[in-house]
Structure 1
């Protein structure tokens, strides 16, 4: 009785085929660096990314605001951080460390008010 499914390729045959036709990531990097005229590719990429990061922040964007001291009017407790706000430029972005409620009494964010206390003074008390 003949077997129903004949093995077309053994594991070794498949591995050999992959070795012949696929180049490793190291070989691709070596080829691209030898073809490229840029001598130090890491420096070039980091400079490119830095200039993109230094672009002006659009008006109305509240994404990169500083953390400040705020007080809850319910429990009168002070906290330091950022109160969650929706950005008009980036409405789908949410920062997980922004406070959506009071960290002490879980009061709503409408009852959190910014106060003019510096970071150092807040942590001394």
Structure 2
């Protein structure tokens, strides 16, 4: 019985160590951080995190003009880029978009929001 308990503890410890490294491998670090979309009528700041995207309109000095709108997302490797799955508050997928980074710019396509060209801030 003692050997079974030790084996179980060993397996759980191994899983605890393996889980964070698996998460890190699936996180698109080149996407994470603050990006800006410049438009004719103003700019929008996009803050990409490991499980959410915050979208905030900003003024010419970069100050927020409204509260950020948050989207829960899940990233999945897809070809040369990343699939971006937008999730409902209950966790179910609402739609899938795409993100690709090239030459310091990101093309981000989100369902229901459209296509956006972003520059790293």
Q: TM-score range by the shorter chain?
A: 0.3 to 0.5
Q: Specify which structure has the higher proportion of strand.
A: 2
Work out which of the two has the higher radius of gyration on C-alpha atoms and give 1 or 2: 1
Question: Normalising by structure 1, what TM-score?
Answer: 0.34
Question: Normalising by structure 2, what TM-score?
Answer: 0.34
Q: Specify which structure has the higher proportion of helix.
A: 1
